[in-house]
Amino acid sequence: MSIIWDSLIELQDNLIAQLSADGTEIHEPGMERFNQPGWVNRVWSNSNYRRAHIDVVDMREKKKLWMMHVCVFPTLQNDSPIYGFDVIAGASKMTGAFHDFSATVDLEHPMINHFGRVAASLRWKRERELPEWAKAIFSDHMIAAGMVTDPEEVDQICKVARENMCYYLKNVGKYNYTANLDIVKASHNYYAQHQKKNPHTPNVMKSLGLDENDVNAFVQQSLFPEV
């Protein structure tokens, strides 16, 4: 039994339940290629966010690892930040956990300031240094924790991801029609382009046994699709 895996799967179920209650699940063309044994992708949308995506690779039996990616993009006339959460974990530790409200148009957006207040109350025994591609898109408040083994820290990560999703879904609609469509579109694409520079995500997915061609296509087309 793994307390870490149990906690993360409970978080996965909670986030799916929140998005299913708030939005409409959609079936994106081509996504069926990336729904395979041990690999699940689900996407939602509503009038407040254009795309909410949960990607889970469950290789606990074969590779002793479990990973999840969550990303929510607001609609293209909404200046809200992008919700992001990523984690990869073995049975006894979270190798890395990353969470942010990343700016699109407004670096001082009220939702980012809220995230900053939440993040300021958290402490990690080992913080992760961010590469340049990440510094270009993530907020100064970003949560980046590495080698998390303490059950209290695991609970803290899961709680903040869960509660911030609840906050995000309740508040993102307040900012509809606050921004220029072309400017928001450019900022969303800037975020996606920089995320694609991350070599770690495809390398980990390949190491988990997923087909290299599938992984490369997934990262370019479906993990961070550009508008």
Q: Which structural domains are found in the chain, ordered by start? A: 3-214 (3.40.1500.20)
pTM above 0.85?
Answer: yes
Tens-place pLDDT, residues 128-170:
678 899 999 999 999 999 899 999 999 999 999 999 999 999 9
Cα–Cα distance measured from residue 116 to residue 83, given in angstroms and rounded to the nearest whole number:
13
Mean pLDDT computed over every residue of the chain: 95
Q: How many CB atoms are closer than 10 A to CB 132?
A: 8
Tens-place pLDDT, residues 25-73:
999 999 999 999 999 999 999 999 999 999 999 999 999 999 999 999 9
Tens-place pLDDT, residues 174-224:
999 999 999 999 999 999 999 999 999 999 999 999 999 999 999 999 999
Helix/strand/coil for 137: coil
- Return the H-helix or E-strand segment holding 159: helix 151-171
Helix/strand/coil for 218: helix
